[in-house]
A = this chain, B = another copy of it.
Amino acid sequence: MINVTVWNENRHEQIDDDVKKIYPNGIHNCIADFLRKETDITVRTATLNQPYHGLTDEVLNNTDVLLWWGHACHHEVSDDIAEKVFQRVLRGMGFISLHSSHFAKPFMKLMGTSCTLKWRDGDFERLWVVSPGHPIAEGIDEYVELEREEMYGEWFDIPTPDELVFLSWFSGGEVFRSGCCWNRGAGKVFYFRPGHEYNPTYHVPQIQKIIVNSIRWAAPKRILTALESPQILPSLEEKRKAAQG
């Protein structure tokens, strides 16, 4: 069983009628709802306005994969919580960064780059599979079409992805590395571009399938305990002598 926490800024949904219509219970609950259909996943949600943004030590220590959707309020996320998320990823927790979370604090800490990009609202998007054997692309056709999405364009200032799964084509003339995998510590990180709050992207079955796939891919194989203090090692010879008493 994979323990998933879906984190959402959850602000647009409170103040903007257009967003409310698409995600009446918030983006986090839309995502949690389709995840709950999977028998190997248990889901909880957390939002910015909750104490500790809903990410207490207890929650983080029991999260295998954390999904993160933020947009306009990245700066309101406390540095302390961002650091805890970062440390938990290094120990093995999976981290799925959605859409405008390219600027989320934990994601930027994990990348070590500016994560800047270009953008424009209102393009037609084709999300091309460029790694058909990858677990995250399982069951996905050669591309997914999204009638209207926010364009994100290159140059996207990220470290070279360890694996590149999706490339986007936008009607206005841009391309984008939209599905990118990285290893950080013992944890796995996936950035997935689609999901503008004014478009019903998370209702699209193929998009849901990709997110489910990414959770299974990011689920930890082990959780490390000690990590930060460098360890002094006895040499092979010392070890053998000790073994002989």
A-to-B contact residues, CB < 8 Å: 90, 92, 109-114, 116-120, 123, 126, 128-135, 137-139, 142, 151, 153-157, 159-160, 162-164, 167-175, 177, 182-188, 220-222, 224, 227-239
Copies per complex of this chain: 4
Contacts A155-B129, A163-B162; A112 near B110 (Cβ below 8 A): yes
Q: Hey, which chain B residues are within 8 Å of A134, CB to CB? A: 183, 221
- B118 with A232: CB separation less than 8 A: yes
Q: Are A114 and B185 in contact (CB under 8 A)?
A: yes
Given A168-B175, A175-B168 in contact, is the A183-B233 Cβ separation under 8 Å?
no
Check B164 against A160 for contact (C-beta < 8 Å).
Answer: yes
Interface contact B113-A224, CB-CB below 8 Å: no
- Residue from B117, B128, B184, B236 in contact with A112 in the complex, judged by beta carbons closer than 8 Å: B184
A242 to chain B, nearest CB (A): 13
Specify which chain B residues have a CB less than 8 angstroms from the CB of A129 in the assembled complex: 154-155
Residue among A119, A131, A167 with max Cβ neighbours from chain B (10 Å): A167
Contact A155 B184 (CB under 8 A): no
Interface pair A233/B126, CB less than 8 Å apart: no
Q: Do B172 and A132 touch (CB < 8 A)?
A: no
Contacts of A138 in B (CB 8 A): 221-222
Further pairs besides A112-B112, A132-B155: 16, Cβ < 8 Å: A116-B228, A116-B229, A116-B230, A119-B230, A126-B173, A126-B236, A132-B224, A154-B167, A157-B227, A159-B183, A162-B163, A168-B175, A169-B170, A172-B234, A172-B236, A173-B236
| CB pair B112 A111 closer than 8 Å | yes
* A217 to B, closest residue via Cβ: B135
Q: How far is the CA of A185 from the CA of B108 in the complex (A)?
A: 12
